[in-house]
Amino acid sequence: MHRNRELYSFLSDKATQLTEDWYATLNKNDQVGVYSSPDPRVIEKLKQQNHQFHLHFFKIFTLEECQFFDLLDDWIDDIGSDEEHLNTPIYFILREFFRTQNQYLDYIEQFVALHEGKYTQAEVNAWNRVVVKVFSEVMERFTQANHRYANKIMMDQQQTIVELSSPIISLKDHTALLPLIGNIDTARGMSLLESTLQQCAEKSVTRLFIDLSGVHAIDEVSAHQLSQLIESLHLIGIDTTLSGLQPDIAMKAVKLQLPFDKVTVKSTLAQAINTII
């Protein structure tokens, strides 16, 4: 009952004006986000995105709902992954969805006034209901896409932090240093095992110095993972030297029976490095 090609044509013809009116009344005083950007390129892209949304949305008045969302999902995915929108608080974006919804309802009212008596109140109600319904679905799908891409960025950043917190530094003659700083929890311990073996293979390391002087705490699971790391390095032919063990970490290592027979232990990094000079 909501499909009407005449209404579709009327709204489509208003798409450009809708975008200009929307941007003219936009709150540009937000502290952060795409809507307050003064960059002309960002503004132009934002207007294009808004205009494309209008053209996609109005097809709800000519298409079946499932077909409509198949076409609109690409727009939702593009906006959900857009860097400027990812840097915009979600409540600002939802605010603009609601403002646009009100624009559509106002234009439907104008359309009805231009065709007074032609359409029943039931038809008008159906148009209004479908606008509200589709906006609710669009906002839900956008929020999901935005959350998905934001999580991916966060996980990539966490992985970068992990990699930077466990760097293998090449020295000479296939020797390398792994300086560990900060507490080692279970998640970091697991990453440490994987990244160290990978980096050693990439750098053709045959002797690795692991300095723990900057580590002040390590849980039992991570201590076990350190044990697995030493065992794994031994299995692939890498000689390992530990240095800088703090007393409490040393006691925990003994308690957990770390494989000290497969590793050389030095009290300081300087003593360890001196063995290759």
Q: Which of 133, 159, 185 lies at the terminal end of a domain, its last residue?
A: 159
The pLDDT of residue 160 is 59
Q: What does the pLDDT read at residue 46? A: 96
Digit-coded pLDDT (tens) for 106-161: 999 999 999 999 999 999 999 999 999 999 999 999 999 888 888 887 776 666 56
Count of domains in the chain? Answer: 2
Domain-ending residue, one of 126, 141, 159 = 159
Do 148 and 192 lie in a common domain? no
% of the chain residues with pLDDT over 70 = 94
Domain boundary among 137, 159, 181: 159
Q: Are residues 14 and 148 in the same domain?
A: yes
Mean pLDDT for the stretch of residues 161-180: 77
> Is the pLDDT reported for residue 163 higher than 60?
no
CB atoms within 10 A of CB 170: 13
Q: What is the rounded CA–CA span in Å between residue 250 and residue 239?
A: 20
What is the pLDDT averaged over residues 58-66? 91
- 207 burial (CB, 10 Å; 0-12 / 13-18 / 19+) is buried
Q: Average the pLDDT over 14-33 and give the result.
A: 94
CATH code of the domain in which 151 resides: 1.10.490.10
d(CA 245, CA 247): 6
Averaged over 27-42, what is the pLDDT? 92
pLDDT, position 162: 58
